[in-house]
Every structure is written in C-alpha cells, then in structure tokens.
Structure 1
Amino acid sequence: MDLRLILSVLGLTLLPGLSVAAGKCERLVVTGSPDAPPYLWQDPQDPKHLIGASADLLQQVAGELGVKVELLYAGKRAQALEEVRSGRMDMLADAPLTINELQSLDYIHPPLLENDYLVWTRKDSPLVYNEVQDLHGHPGALSEKSRITPEFALFAEQHLALARTANLTQAFQKLLLGEVEYVVAGRYSGMAVAQTLSMANDLVAHPQPVDKPGLFLAVSHNSACNDPWLRGQLAKKMTELPASGLTQAALLRNIERWKTQLSQPPQAPVSAPKQ
C-alpha cells in the first residue's frame, strides 16, 4: 500500500525525511523573460501566458514527472526574477547562471537550453573571420537586450568595439548599411530576424559560437515545490534532453511560430523581441 495512503488512514503526517515523490508539488507556477523568442515570449493571443521553446520543453519534462506547469507572464525580466525570489512563483524557465542569485535560487544542471551567439557578417564583407580575435579593431554591433555571459561581456569591453542597438533589427540594419562590419547575435533569433526582414540572402552566420550562455531552470528557495526529489528528477531530464531530439524540434517549431507572428499585424501590445 502507498505510504501516503497508509499514513492518511492512520491520521499521521509524513516525517521530514519521508517526503513522497511530488507529494507537495503537483503544480509549478513558472515565469521568465517575456521578450526572448524563440526561447520564451509573451503570447500575443493570451498575454497572461508565456510561450516558446523553453515553455514547450518544460511542459514536456514536467508532464513526464506528473507535475503540471503553468507558464505565466510576470512583467519584465527583473519583475519576473523578483516574483520567483519571493516564492510567489516557483521557478524561472530561462535563468542565466549568476553567482549573486545562488542566494535565492537553486539552478538545475545542465541548462534546459544553450543560446549560441554567432558572428554575423555581410556576404560581401572583406572581413576575414576565423576566431574572435579577428574582430579586434573592427566596428561591430550587439542588441542591448542580448544576455551574454559575464565572461564574454568583459572580453567584449576590453577587446571589441561593439555599438549597442535597441534591438537586433537595428543591429542588422547597421550591418547592411555598412555602419558596422559584424553583429554578434543569437543563432536562432538571428535566423528568424534575417528571414523575416528578407535579409537572409545578404548575411552570413559564422558557425563557431563566440558565447554559449545557458538558459537554466531555477527554483526559488522560497518555493514549496523546492525539494530534492523534484530537483533530482529535473536534472535527470535535463541530462537526457540533448540526445532526445526534442530540443532542436522545439527550437525550429518556435522559430516558425515567431516568424508567423512577426508577419501578422499585432493584436495587442506585447514586449519587444529580446534578441
């Protein structure tokens, strides 16, 4: 007979060391960036919820564990983080790994996704690029909404001349106008923007990433769902995901989803694209 049923019949409660798997967490309330397609963004058809590759993958793995997940919009990135820190929401679906947040969040390793940042140039560019050092002395651009790692941010500050633009569209426009020689942009967000703006035939994405920030699941220390069973099971699922084929399928599916939305008149104001 199930331990929880036995104790229920006897009118007893579980001892701290006898927590039954998923016993106190049947539903996870999750949030994250509202403007980071194709990973996560606000659903224009249902603005209270978030959609994207991160949402799809988390729904998949949580479903396999018998845990329901609701991806809710909680405001801008900083607001979403505060909701999770406080325990009002249980988890971030796309947390960058930062030392300061270890005081309030438990990160699930490995990351749910990695956001490869590539160097993009014009097809007719005279710039010879093989490694990141080749960019030294050449003007480039980066969307100010990009979430690069602290290590690459420091390298860029010390060795690269990167102009910050309001978004990736402006960065690519500067590239095509010859105002910069390259753009550092995410692999998939760059692909979607280039195709949507009919720039794909004019740009080249060099395949070797210059940065690979992880997008982690991070559970609040103040969440009632934060227990060893859940963290362990999620870590196991994160380890299995890369070989499953689900990650690539989710990314490609959500690139098409986002491109379709970009090509349609907006139904209601939502957050601007992150990348």
Structure 2
Amino acid sequence: MSDLKSARAPRRGPGLFQSLAAALGFTLALGWPLQSAQAQPTESCKQLTASGNPQYPPYLWRDPEDENRLIGANADLMQLLAREIGIPIEVRYIGPWGRVQEETRAGRIDLIAGAFFTLPRTEYMDYFHPAFRETRSVVWTRDNLRLNYRRWADLGSLQGVTVINNSFGEDFDRYARENLKMSTVASLEQAIQMLQKGRADYLVYEDSPGAAFLAKMNITDLKSLSPAVANENLHLTLSHKSACNTPELRGRITRAIYKMTRANVMQGLIDKNIQLWRKQNQQ
C-alpha cells in the first residue's frame, strides 16, 4: 500500500477551491441548479461518510497533506452531491480497497464513491443508477514479453496478478476464477513490481489508474494491450446498514446523480485531477 508520503503536494490555496467552484458554476450554467438551499438534513442523517479505492488516481488517492482524507475526481463529485442533497459528505481514507468493502458491509461507511457492479456486493449495498463513469480495464505486460493477446483464453497458460478484492465485471470475474491463474496482492504498486520483476506475466487493472501509477513510479517498460478486458461502469453505492439508508434519501441521491451525469460533470473533474496528480508527483 502506498501512502504517497514521497509526494510533496503544493500548498492548498485558492486554485483548488476555485476549481471546485468552477465545477459548481459549470453545473449551474447547464441548467440544473444545486438545491442545497432547499434540501435539509433529515432527523436521522446529519452527515455521510464515503470512501473508496485509495490507489485510484485520478479518481481517488490519499491527500499528501492529510492522509486521513481521499482526494480526486470522485471525492470532488461527493462534494457536489453533498450540496445537492443538503447533507455533508466526508471522504475518508479507511485502508486498502478490501478493507473499504468490509467496513461498508458492516455499516461503518455509508457510501462507496466508485464501485463496479457485482452480484455479491448487492448483498450489502445498494447501487445508484445511472453509473457516473465508464471505465476500461486492460491487460498490462512487459515491453519485452511477446504476449499474443486477443481474447481472455489467450491468458490461460500465463500467470496473472491483480489487486485483492478488485472486480472487472461479472463475466470476466467468473471466467478468471474458473480458467485463469490469477494471484492477488494488497496494492497496485506491489502488483506492478511483481510484473516488472517477472513474477507475473500480466497485470489486469484499469487503464487510467494504471498509467498514473507507472508515471509516479517512473516505470517506462510496461505497456497495455488491446482489446480491453472489460468496459465497466463506476457506481455510487450505499451500505444496507447505513443509518441514512432510507427511501427518501435514496431518491434524492438518485436524482442528483442523474442530473450530474446528464451534465457530464465528471469529465471536468477528471481533467482537473489528472493535472493535480501530475503536479503532486513532480515535486
């Protein structure tokens, strides 16, 4: 698990808040006014706690200035959502991705700010529709390894690696369990190091977060292959055991997510956070 202690972030100043304010202004310009003036916290729900995969730039990563917080495009989206529903949302670093899911199952986290749909996860959390982002998961391998990959079956004789408790969609997850030799490790950095050292032939992970970590680790001898393993949607989810999980709040969140996806708010947040990640890792 990387705690990003080597990254020295620029001092937080007006630029970061101006960027978020610009995103808010963008949503207003597109014709759906934020309703924080009308929406008020319910009697039983004064605040929501959100978390997610902490090794997921530009979507989520630990704040170098406060490692108990997560920042990124998904964290910014949670602040827009908070204004819309009238309830503060704190985006916390809880631990590795597997721990985040365990805490959500127990109801100690209300929201996951970005999860793929799987049937087992529906046993402990509700998914909001529509998804707020489509992502692309790919096969990563070494430049000097000639891997003839065109379909999942081409990976059958090879050793793969990914991050524990990651999902790449119901179809691929099932195929991998039944047909592939896939080991799991605690962090993306560890998986990348295994691949680079030849302890695995390929890594399955999303393209944008994978590329971001390769840049951070100054690794240039790995490549991604086509076609994608899967194109999956990122959803906001709410724990079944959350004290805030009521029909009224689920409806408010669904309406807010619908408005934001129609306005394509996420693209602007992603562009802003790609630049933030790069600046932090150039220090």
TM-score (norm 1): 0.69
What is the aligned partner in structure 2 of residue 250 from structure 1?
269
- 1:45 aligned residue: 65
Give the partner amino acid of 1:230.
Answer: L
Does residue 156 of structure 2 align to residue 118 of structure 1? no
1:108-187, aligned counterparts within 5 Å? 108-144=128-164, 146-149=166-169, 151-187=171-207
Spell out the pairing of 1:91-110 with structure 2 (5 A cutoff): 91-102=111-122, 104-110=124-130
Provide the C-alpha distance between the structure 1 equivalents of 2:158 and 2:98, rounded to a whole number of angstroms: 33
Kindly indicate whether residue 81 of structure 2 is the aligned counterpart of residue 61 of structure 1.
Answer: yes
Is this contact kept in 2: 1:117–1:210, CA < 8 A? yes
Counterpart among 9, 28, 45 of residue 47 in structure 2? 28
Q: Out of 93-102 and 59-68, give the one that drifted further.
A: 93-102
- For 1:103 and 1:165, the matched residues in 2 are separated by 24
Deviation digits for residues 39-74 of structure 1 (CA, Å, limit 9, x no counterpart): 333323123322222111121233234433222344
> Shift of the alpha carbon at 1:33?
3.1
C-alpha offsets along residues 156-185 of structure 1, whole Å, 9 cap, x if unaligned?
A: 233223344453334434444555443212
In the alignment, structure 2 segments of 5+ residues that lack a partner are 1-37
How many angstroms apart in 2 are the aligned matches of 1:171 and 1:80? 19
Q: Which runs of 5 or more structure 1 residues have no equivalent in the other structure? A: 1-19, 265-275
Query: Bigger radius of gyration, 1 or 2?
Result: 1
- In 2: Cα distance, 1:47 partner to 1:190 partner: 21
Secondary structure in structure 1 of the residue aligned to 2:175:
helix
CA 1:144/1:70 → structure 2, altered by over 3 Å: closer, same or farther?
closer
Structure 2 vs 1, CA of residues 124 and 242 (structure 1 numbering), >3 Å: closer, same or farther? Answer: farther
Q: Residue deviations 1:183-206, cap 9 Å, x none?
A: 212111111122223334x33323
Residue 116 of structure 1 and its aligned partner are, at CA, apart by 2.6
Q: In 2 relative to 1, CA 42–123 (structure 1 residues): closer, same or farther, beyond 3 Å?
A: closer
CA contact (8 A) 1:32 1:77 kept: no
Residue-pair matches, total: 244
Q: 1:190 aligns with which of 210, 233, 237?
A: 210
Contact 2:54 2:95 (8 Å CA) reproduced:
no
Distance in 1, Cα, partners of 2:107 & 2:188 = 33
Of all paired residues, the percent bearing the same amino acid is 33
Q: Which residue of 2 aligns with 1:269?
A: none
Structure-1 separation of matches of 2:125 and 2:185 = 31
Moved more, 89-98 or 115-124: 89-98
